[in-house]
Structure 1
């Protein structure tokens, strides 16, 4: 009796195991429909469905449907095979995305929908209260659908379209999507050398397969030719990218990225992606007439993505990025010249960045200004604060260095510029061509410091709110003799120069020392001094309302037989300046001329004779310390009296 009990127990166990194995081989007839009904995950399976739970867990169904929480059929597949591992099911039940090792079907009609909160009618992940949390897209390692269609309505992705896809007999996979992405009509074609995963976890180790992708939207085209391990999350992506279109803004709009409106462009480079880091290397880009290149990385793993890399190339023309710097349209306000269009720049709080810049040339977009060459800088974006530092730009044989900063956190945005100007040849940078003047009416090397702050989102608002000092000096300079005489209203010498031809006079000093206050520049010292005359300027220039109120006074050192010698007033606006003579001094000369003319008409000319002031002191042309207030112009020690003007040599006359 004692010996038969173990035998009976063993026989029962063997019978049970054999029964379980037999049932598993048979596919547990009737089990799948009952499990699907009890699971309450919207699964509706054919009564002949077979499920294998022991060896290579899988489901084989003549037909399988997924019914959503709203009662609609979300998926309808025929001749379905689904394979999984029990560890994946355990992870899914504990919050991980659902992972299926194989999904294969002869045909599939799919309806994928997610609302703005990421919720879907797909009943994949109900919580304890019966609500549906935002549902991750299922991870499918191997997807083989011979004939598939899908309707896509995904609010978080702003995707609305229809797709056709399938795996051909040779294993190649093709897909076509037509619809709208972020409101933009587009068409996408994709082709892979064999079936590939939609999503692939890092530990899957799936080898990359050849992938071709082309997306078009009107004249915009994006093409990729390379390899990847998965389609939707682009794991192990590596290949050549080409993007071309009518504008950067038009291409970026479907992806929710804000870029400026530009001329037509063409970009090519090597695109790679691994573990949330996108890299675009060996970039060659043409935007309008600009030529750019570089290497960049975009790290999406942090809460705020990080862009890093190096921008190279040249020339870069500001005209090709006009809307990005607010210069593409005339001012909207009549009678104004400063552009008031808001800067069209990406959201500065959307990401951080650290990008080096090394350009061979930066074209300012006007024939009146020489391009900057070369241009080197570091661009740092951190928490909405954009800083351009370590800036060094070659300008007409000299350089501009310093720092520019924009803080987008306050409203309006706050700007800061600290610039050093060293050795800039003004005759090269400012290209002035005026009939009757010398080829270069103003020459010399500009030295200076600019330390200003401002606020606003347009050029007009920024300049109209400037505060801070401006110090400029022209070294080893010269100025047109005709300009000097014209400012001094010296008729006789001006006429002589028109007949003889203009020439430049060496400058003793040319200096501007002033301060912006709320967009208004008031010179503390503004002087041009040469052997012929000293010209002083005072008054105000307002960039806030674009008004002018300047007084120009010429103090000649030489004798002139016919001159008006009255201060010149420059008033009006930047768009409509008005130049007039100051009436008080001119009126005095006119009264004197009338009185002398009453005696004898030729005597009236005596009122317009000016002996000049040969004892006029020289000017201190040194710049004030950067952190101190600028001193007024100091006269040098008064020289010994010189002979009367008539006795001076001819070459000292204007």
Structure 2
């Protein structure tokens, strides 16, 4: 029994041996998996490093990229050369021989042609559907920027061509030996810019030289500014300076603009000089009048809606201007407003504003203008030559340009401290407010200091109707004739103050046509005053009195009253009353004045109140054109007097004076009645109405 018994440890030794056999393979396989995983990760890291460092040639994807671009923008994209991609903080895409097409309406097939284009692409925005290009560099680019009349633009790559949500954002742009062409069909414009980006003091700067045409005006200039557009930061001002010429207008400017494509703010110092302000109608669509050569400098600012030109000085012809003006684009018409002051104003410089052409000698020819064609030279010669159909015209013939009126509304206050060139009349201050509202021009109030007195009233011209309709209501207050007519100063006497009113309504395309069709009336009245007796006697052909005054000296004669009352009907002025009454003489005038043909037909009748031994007082006629009327006595009555004197003179020389003696049949006119009539017309004469006038009322 003892021999057959097994030790306890012999029965329990096998299970531990089997468990050991099951655990042995695991430690040997685990290091193998780790090694394999490490190898894979290392290979992947090496691949990523290689992919990050080494550029990828993506030529097989050129067609696919072109299809995607055309589907998104409607534009063709062709890459004739290699296409490369390189990873980095931003991805970098390089395309050689790049061509992007224009929309079908554009004037050129390609929007962009470039020998080589490098684009930095921000990767994270791509996950949100935004294409952000922090930097773009193009070698020998040829870019076509065109704006259609309906507002479409070739640089808007979105198919919708609207200002909705943007998907493309550009940062800085560097151009190497580039060409940028801007075209605008509505303005008949095509301007070519040769551009080059250079580094100055560590900052990239853009240089450009421009040439082409703008609204058929030649364009030439150069500019330098910050790197192109800086569109990534739309709040950063774009600083630049330029110097150029458009037609006859020279422009120099320096300053900054926020968002040059569609400005939000601007602050510039500018200098302008040109042959005429009217050229700005072709440059910017601003309906300014034609003027002599001008120059100006000042500060130009833009606040998002309004351009303001302030702290400026200007010279137009021989006139100076200053003040502050503003231009605001709005629908349906832009607005021009401001305050203008002139210390010395020459009306000849603004003749076209009042419908009067500038003298040919004052007209300037732009230095850059081309030679005149034979047709243009003939037209200019005809314009400056006197008319072969008749004598020179006096009334302003220049036609108003209603087309300019329709482009602009205006609200301007103008003050001229000294005014020159209104004939020989001494002019003081000119003050008026001009308003243009949908082709309706209003000058109100209108004030002109003239001849020691003043003219005030208003003028309305309606350019919405053809021919234009005009209305004038003008009051004259205390005008001094000796001041108005310098030739009277030598008579050493002073006339009284003249008051009056002019109310007219007419139609036409110039002031001459408006007066030639005018209806209305005019009155002038003068109360008591003085006038030279020598002047009266010469006017009356009174040789004895005139000789006696020359010998012993002139003296003044009291003026009792004067009244001129005329009516207008279709441009024909006729006298209703015209009387000049002194203690010595009564002078009456009757007749007509044709403002259509500028012809006078008046008869002036002087009647003596005193007895003069050498009087040849006879009526005389004033006839002929306004520019050169002819004054002639009544020849029949003058010959009758002169003939009698000659016959008697043959008998006795002393008897020759007998036919010239008058007994003074003239009678005093009722000055009080004349003054009463003037009072009824709203004039402030110098004498009150008499009892007879009160009864008549």
Superposition TM-score tier, normalisation by shorter sequence: 0.7 to 0.9
- For residues 210-609 of structure 1, the aligned pairs below 5 Å read 210-217=239-246, 220-250=249-279, 253-325=282-354, 326-329=356-359, 332=387, 333-338=389-394, 339-343=396-400, 347-366=404-423, 368-371=424-427, 373-432=428-487, 438=491, 443-583=495-635, 585-586=637-638, 589=641, 602-603=654-655, 605-609=657-661
Matched residues in 2 for 1:89 and 1:263: separation?
62
Distance (whole Å) between structure 2 residues aligned to residue 88 and residue 493 of structure 1? 107
1:181 aligns with 214
Q: 1:36 aligns with which of 46, 57, 66?
A: 66
Shifted more, 334-343 versus 24-33: the winner is: 24-33
Q: TM-score, normalised by structure 1?
A: 0.79
Contact conserved, 1:33 with 1:49, CA < 8 A, in 2? no
Over 3 Å counting, the alpha-carbon distance change for 1:635 and 1:100 in structure 2 is farther
Q: Which residue of 2 aligns with 1:641?
A: none
**Cα distance 1:410–1:91, how it changes in 2: closer, same or farther (>3 A)?**
farther
Q: Aligned pair in 2 of structure 1 residues 546, 143: CA closer, same or farther (>3 Å)?
A: same
Change beyond 3 A, Cα 1:240–1:599: closer
- 1:48 aligned to which of 77, 83, 90: 83
- What is the TM-score of this pair, normalised by structure 2? 0.75
Cα distance change on mapping 1:524 and 1:89 into 2, 3 Å: farther
- Given that residues 134 and 170 in structure 2 are in contact (C-alpha distance below 8 angstroms), is that contact kept between their aligned partners in structure 1? yes
Structure 1 residues 122, 607: CA separation in 2 closer, same or farther (over 3 Å shift)?
same
1:80 to 95, 118, 121: 118
Change (3 A) 1:619 1:389: same
2:144 counterpart (111, 114, 129): 111
Structure 2 vs 1, CA of residues 216 and 611 (structure 1 numbering), >3 Å: closer, same or farther?
Answer: same
Question: Which residue is equivalent to 1:642?
Answer: none
Task: Please name the residue that 1:159 is paired with.
Answer: 189
Aligned CA distance change for structure 1 residues 409 and 337 (closer, same or farther; 3 Å): same
Paired residues of 1:32 and 1:49 also in contact (CA < 8 A): no
Instruction: Pick which of 402-411 and 298-307 moved more.
Output: 298-307
161-170 or 397-406, larger mean C-alpha shift: 161-170
Deviation at 1:497, TM superposition (A): 2.5
CA contact (8 A) 2:436 2:442 kept: yes
Q: Distance in 2 between matches of 1:624 and 1:268?
A: 51
Partner of 2:173, secondary structure, is strand
Distance in 1 (CA, whole Å) between partners of 2:416 and 2:459 is 17
Change (3 A) 1:180 1:140: farther
The match for 1:65 is: 99
The residue matched to 1:347 in structure 2 has which SS?
Answer: helix
Whole-Å Cα distance in 2 between the matches of residues 99 and 386 of structure 1? 52
Question: Could you give the per-residue CA deviations for residues 404-459 of structure 1, whole angstroms, max 9, x where no partner exists?
Answer: 1111111111111111111222222332269xx5156x633221111111222223
- Distance apart, 1:612 and its partner CA: 1.0
Relative to 1, partners in 2 of residues 1:608 and 1:446: Cα closer, same or farther, differing over 3 Å? Answer: same
- List aligned pairs for 1:130-149, cutoff 5 A: 142-149=172-179
The verdict on how the C-alpha distance between 1:595 and 1:265 changes in structure 2, with shifts beyond 3 A counting, is closer
Moved more, 60-69 or 373-382: 60-69
Q: Which has the higher helix share?
A: 2
Deviates more, 1:247-256 or 1:205-214: 247-256
Structure 1 residue 345 displacement after superposition: 7.3
The farther-off stretch of 42-51 and 240-249 is 42-51
Instruction: State how far apart, in whole Å, the 1-side matches of 2:85 and 2:587 are.
Output: 101
SS in 2 for 1:560: coil
SS at match of 1:171: strand
Contact 1:412 1:456 in 2 (8 A): yes
Give the Cα–Cα distance (whole angstroms) in 2 for the partners of residues 541 and 280 of structure 1.
Answer: 47
Q: Equivalents in 1 of 2:101, 2:188: separation in Å? A: 23
Q: For 2:207 and 2:163, how far apart are their aligned partners in 1?
A: 29
Taking the aligned partners of 2:127 and 2:279, their CA distance within structure 1 comes to 43
* Maintained 8 Å contact 1:196/1:229: no
Give per-residue Cα distances to partners, 1:109-137, cap 9 Å, x unaligned: 2234556666678894657xxxx9999x9
Distance 1:149 1:408, change over 3 A: same
**Contact 1:619–1:636 (Cα < 8 Å) also in 2:** no
Aligned to 1:9: none
Other structure's SS at 2:331 match: coil
2:468·2:509 contact (CA, 8 Å) conserved in 1? yes
Deviations 1:456-500 (A, max 9, x none): 222321221222111112345332312312333323212322333
Match of 2:36 in 1: none
| Cα distance in 1, alignment partners of residues 407 and 553 from structure 2 | 61
When structure 1 is superposed on structure 2, of 316-325 and 216-225 the one drifting more is 216-225
Residues 48-88 of structure 1: per-residue CA shift (max 9 Å, x gap):
25499x99798653453213457943312323316589999
1:527 CA displacement:
1.1
Structure 2 distance, partners of 1:277, 1:549, is: 55
Q: Secondary structure at the match of 1:319?
A: helix
Contact 1:324 1:344 in 2 (8 A): no
- Give, in whole Å, the separation in 1 of the partners of 2:169 and 2:528: 73
Contact 1:197–1:231 under 8 Å retained in 2: no
SS at match of 1:499: helix
- Work out the CA distance in 1 between the residues paired with 2:542 and 2:169: 87
Report deviation, 1:229.
1.9
Structure 1 residue 624, shift from structure 2 partner: 4.5
**Aligned counterpart, 2:8:** none
Q: Secondary structure at the match of 1:268?
A: strand
CA contact (8 A) 1:139 1:197 kept: no
CA RMSD of aligned residues (A): 4.2
Query: CA separation in 2, counterparts of 1:611 and 1:89?
Result: 116
Q: How far is 1:279 from its partner?
A: 0.8
Please say which of residues 39-48 and 542-551 is displaced more in the overlay.
Answer: 39-48
Shift, 1:89, TM fit: 13
